[in-house]
Structure 1
Amino acid sequence: MPVTSVESDLEALTMTLIADFAVGPERLWAVFTDPRQLERFWGPPGWPSTFDAFDFRVGGYAKYHMTSPRGERAGGAWEFTAIDEPRGFEVIDSFADENGDPLEGMPSMRMVFTFEATPEGARMTNVSHFTSADALEQVVAMGAVEGSTLAMNQLDAVLQGLRAFAQGQGTRLEILSDQHVRITRLIEGPRELVWRAHLDPDLMRQWMLGPDGWRMSVSEIDRREGGRYRIAWEPEPGTEGEGFGFDGEILLLDEPRRMVQTEHMTGTDLPTTTNDLSLYEEDGATLVTLVIEYPDAATRDAVLATGMVDGMEESFRRMERVVLT
């Protein structure tokens, strides 16, 4: 993970994040000054950002909002106060309303980004300067340390490019917290078709099957926010096992980029999870990212122990072989 430390200092009124990367300072500069690249990591998993404005000059403003799995929005704004290409820049960072204006009663801070070369590549240092201990403690209490760590640890995929980051890696699992995991898989195919494969019942029945010997017996999707879905599988003749299925509600639909839905094993009292699917295309390949929120670590571990990730890899291989050829 790139982030090596996040420390708050009540005496100096600062919070400092340090992260090391295997690229030069110029590449870091390019990522932090391009709103389309910023959107891929500025915001922790489950709260991706959208930059609505990015006027990169001293005195200019960047305005963005982050969207939660249930559609809540949290806004932010930067006023650029110093730019020193490619070594760094400074902003006044504020919580913002739906118009991008600073929220009254919420702290603003001076945030300094510095990019410097290291023997292994480059180091990014981000120092936030607060006007009071209360403001610093308020931001830390809101989860800034964990949130900024999770956000910056997404940066490797952006810096390396999709194929360098994920090609040949298969379906990868990362444990983000007691309640969250992230699963990624690079698919050789355009985002539009990968999206259709996840939502078109006819296409789903061709690939979303797990190990050989199973078939999808139910695939019903009300393709809208608030719509319900139900999916079920059963073994083919000669294959051992009992049928099972899932049902839930679509919470957020941003076609063809993101879908958030609840997932519950049909006919059981097992806990419901929240599944946050996002697709990003680069050079004809699509990175599938699924962030799953569990109620607790015990449920997380029990689900992962079923071989879920291996089953997903079998399905993704089938997608590439059957749907995308």
Structure 2
Amino acid sequence: MTPRANALLTDAGELFFSYARPADDALSSLSRQEGLLGIITFQTGFFGEGDGAKPEGILQIPLSGRGDDRCEIWKTTQPVHAGTFGDITYRCSRDFLFGSIALAVADLPAGNHGLIHLPLQNAAELAYQQIFSLLDRHGYPGLLRIWNFVPDINGVSHGLEHYRQFNIGRQDAFLAHSRLPSRQNIPAASALGSVDGPLVVYFLAARRNSVAVENPRQISAYHYPQEYGPSSPTFSRAGWVDLGQQKILFISGTASIIGHQTRHEGDVAAQTRESMANIAAVVAETNRVAAGPPYDLNDLSYKVYLRRFTDLPIIRAELDRLVTPKAPVFYLQADICRADLLVEIEATAGVLHGGMA
């Protein structure tokens, strides 16, 4: 069965985003399709352990929980070639680059001054340094969207939560590559928890820059107060990019946060509604500042991360009330960056709705 795709149109070609069932479309067959940029699977067991059979262009995220038995596929109508750069595996066309990196997280020896190198800080800094160096070398300045999967994201080592360690390293890399002085091009991002294993980052870049969009209901993440860690999270609430015929909106992982504070602790239904209110605010802000036809909640494709899989019926019921049943929605169980958050929702707008396979 061929997955129905959401097409992101450009002057030079098309960029396709879709979900497919691995059981219906063998990943090895999908990996041989022309124009493939990447396939992301979120569950283990698609390939035999240690048999070396993983096809090129496929990234597996080591999530411990459950979710829709689907994989995420990115394709383009342009010719694609594969490459490696340091620890990064990537595939690129004339206008797009899609890459991934998985780095082991390990303690490093103390430095010359006896300072402890925080393991996730180092892994995050190295990952982002390599990403920026790759994009600079090959001329893809527009880092449009990033997905981060942090092992045991709410765990603590060396006296600091893993997500906060990650934020230090990520911000250090942004600073080292002069990508923070202009807030206008900070990309949209999500950061979720994976099981013990590597730090995994996958990303989409282009020849054109996106424009950051913030949420009037929230403090920009990079302005969070010190209570959230030594370094603020480095991402925009959304990124809008003009790719020619189509204008695309990438909305970051969005949760039940007003200002900088979590709301509705312990109430997953209320957190879902608040998350969607924040997405609605981002959509409204984009419609205010960006050129082109206005976006609508019913025009988005959604990916929903839930901390407890038993909350799925509640979250699904809330979304069924708020958006059309035709909107593609992909559910995954994963830990979220704050221990008091039960749900996080990301979205993409400006796509042709082909639905889900």
Tell whether the structures are fold-level matches, with TM greater than 0.5.
Answer: no
Higher Rg of the two aligned structures: 1
* Larger RCO, structures 1/2 (Cα 8 Å, 6+ apart): 2
Higher strand share: 1
* TM-score normalised by L of structure 2: 0.25
* TM-score normalised by L of structure 1: 0.27
